[in-house]
Amino acid sequence: MNVLVTALNAQYVHSSLAIRYLKSYCRSAGLEIQTREYTINHELLDILADIYSARPDVVGLACYIWNIEMSLQIACLLKKVLPDAVIVLGGPEVTYGVEEILTDHPYIDYIVRGEGEKLFCRLLLNLPDRDSVKTIEGIACRREDGTVLSGSPGIITDLDTIPFPYSEQDIVQLKDKIIYYESSRGCPFSCQYCLSSATQGVRFFSPERVCKDLERLIAADVKQVKFVDRTFNAGKEHFLPIVRFLARQPGRTNFHFEIAADLLDKEALDAFLEAPAGRFQMEIGVQSTNEPTLAEIRRKNHWDKIVENVGRIREAGTIHLHLDLIVGLPHESLGQFAQSFNAVFSLKPHQLQIGFLKLLKGSGIRANAAKHQYRYMDWAPYEVLANARLSYRDVRQLKILEAAFNYVYNGGRFHYLIDWLIIRRYKGDAFAFFWDLAGFWEAGGLHLLAHSPKNLYKHLRDFCASRFSSDLELCLHILKADALTADQGQIRPDFLPWNLDRYAQERNAFWRDEEVVSRYLPQFTFTNWRELNKRYHIEVFGLNAAAYLLKQPVPEHKSVAVLFSYDSGTICFQAIKPNDFFKGESI
């Protein structure tokens, strides 16, 4: 029997953990299956042709909110060109509402509900006797009279019975992509917007098994491992040995976890912070700070503990912090979302994801949609359009805000200008700034376009000119500081007030004076001018901009020379004393 299992990933950099689990589990039972991956950006007929070329007897499709429509289209086409092939769906998007799927899509033969490794393997072993398939709990199919037979979703209690999902060939092919991994299934919480609310409890792979698996990925020098655990730190006896193991490992591999920040005690936090810089990333789902909202979605945030732990992580500077908010939760109006936004933004995450509520099949919030007057998309991804507290007009504007925010803040290029504008012009109200920026974005049609980094500098210049013309010169100098502290200083828009050759004589004199240079760069050795210009840059700023960049008083001089170093991959900068640079000028 020729079996092919496939998934349509959202992006090329993604990979499918699910289909690799199926392949490894089936192999352990003596069944060999093929796997193929595509993305939702591939042409439908190209995918069809590629699957057809394998002449499969059975085709399995892993279904999620981002690919369900396209997966159903492929399944329909496959039945036309391979009428004898058995079409099987699995994944979270088809675990619920199976009657509707099988009724509306006659070309689907079976649906594997829940965790599919054992179920899919049993289905394949029983396919020669179709009647026996109907006895498998968790396999949905049609009876002879056309009605749907469906049992409870499958759950694997002993996760260590599932083989390691990645072959050596997989690891080589995925080395520079995102490799997904899990150390547990389930979640200790019952957040009503999440499918984890439909199941109870958490099950863990043993820490010994996890460390053995991860050792293989580290040895292969993979770029990033992203844990898909709903809450990685749900059990301290489980996650702490894993964190300590990873903190000791060599190599470049980065590990991304979804963390409940308020569950971290001092011992656990110390273990995370003992790792070298860049080893860990944390994604922390705050979602809302509005208490009635949190109560309605059955979520408890210990805000003081979140603030304390995130502050310590941010201060350490070794872990990339990604915090999440959700637009459209119950009882949260636009004004209350603004409060949540400002509270989370004040924690200074490296990235803040503004997500929009999705009323997933099987979730508690979808079951109670009428209670909160939800209007949402009838098809995947079932995204919120409005509710009792939030109009579609609000949701639409927040969508534009999200787009501008992702470019301007999450892109990581404009923190100096953003901070200055929020503090000096928006009285500390970050949401007010981004709301105003969203209005500017929409007025210029920028929400309909893609933007290069260089164009973003221009848009921010135009925004400042339209709102704060009297401060434009200072804004441009701060924007220049952003340009020199992002992208290794390689993006330098022409319209910014660069020194160019104005201080060429002073710069040359500075670099030729080894005694002076050694005060700022003790390890410096001159090689040639080309290499020097690649590794260092000196730019002169006005007093106000320099004081803001350096976060300290600057010498009483009409301008300040700042030395930028790109030597170690980490951008550093420092003020040069006036006497060491402006020689011959009145100071």
pTM above 0.85, yes or no: yes
Tens digit of each residue's pLDDT (9 = 90 or more) over 172-188:
999 889 999 999 999 98
Note the pLDDT of residue 584.
59
Reported as a single tens digit per residue, the pLDDT across 314-362 is 999 999 999 999 999 999 999 999 999 999 999 999 999 999 999 999 9
Token output for 307: 């603030």
**What digits encode the pLDDT tens for the residues 86-141?**
999 999 999 999 999 999 999 999 999 999 999 999 999 999 998 999 999 999 99
Rounded CA separation 285/301 (Å): 10
SS (H, E, C) 398-453: HHHHHHHHHHHHHCCCCHHHHHHHHHHHCCCCHHHHHHHHHHHHHHCCHHHCCCCH
B/e letters for 366-397, b = 16+ CB within 10 Å, e = fewer, are beebeebebebeeebbbbbebbebbeeebbeb
Within 10 angstroms of residue 150's Cβ, the number of other Cβ atoms is: 16
CA-nearest of 133, 65, 122, 134 to 94 is: 65
> What's residue 585's pLDDT?
54
Q: Is 90 exceeded by the pLDDT of residue 507?
A: yes
**Token pair for 351:** 């990235």
Least confident of 22-26, 150-154, 264-268, 419-423: 150-154
* Tokens matching residue 521: 């760069």
Q: What is the pLDDT of residue 488?
A: 93
Q: Is the pLDDT of residue 223 over 90?
A: yes
Tell me what the pLDDT averaged over the chain comes to.
95
Of the pLDDT bands very low, low, confident and very high (cuts 50, 70, 90), residue 195 is confident
SS3 206: coil
pLDDT at 587: 42
CA distance 299 to 457: 40
Q: Mark residue 202 as left, alpha or beta (left: phi above 0; alpha: psi -120 to 50; beta: remaining).
A: beta
pLDDT confidence of residue 161: 97
Question: CA Rg, the chain, in Å?
Answer: 28
Report residue 555's pLDDT band, with 50, 70 and 90 as the boundaries.
confident
Q: How confident is the model at residue 424 (pLDDT cuts 50, 70, 90)?
A: very high
DSSP string over 521-535: -TT-----HHHHHHH
Q: Using CA of residue 470, residue 471, residue 474, residue 475, what is the dihedral sign?
A: negative
Q: CA-to-CA distance for 34 and 47, rounded, in angstroms?
A: 15
Instruction: For strands 351-356 and 320-327, give the pairing.
Output: parallel
Q: How far apart are CA 199 and CA 179, in angstroms?
A: 26
Q: Is the pLDDT of residue 463 over 50?
A: yes
Residue 196: its pLDDT value, please? 76
User: pLDDT value at position 586?
Assistant: 43
Give percent of the chain above pLDDT 90.
91
Identify the structural domains of the chain with CATH numbers, from first to last.
3-149 (3.40.50.280), 166-390 (3.80.30.20), 391-495 (no CATH), 504-581 (no CATH)
Q: What is the pLDDT of residue 568?
A: 73
- Mean pLDDT for 236-255 is 97
Residue 322, C-beta contacts closer than 8 angstroms, at least 6 positions apart: 281, 282, 283, 284, 349, 350, 351, 352, 353
Kind and range of the H or E run holding 236: helix 236-248
Query: Which pLDDT belongs to residue 146?
Result: 86
Instruction: Indicate if the pLDDT at residue 545 is higher than 50.
Output: yes
Could you read off the pLDDT of 368-381 as tens digits, one per residue? Answer: 999 999 999 999 99
Q: Which residues pair with 227 in a beta bridge?
A: 181
Q: State residue 368's pLDDT score.
A: 95
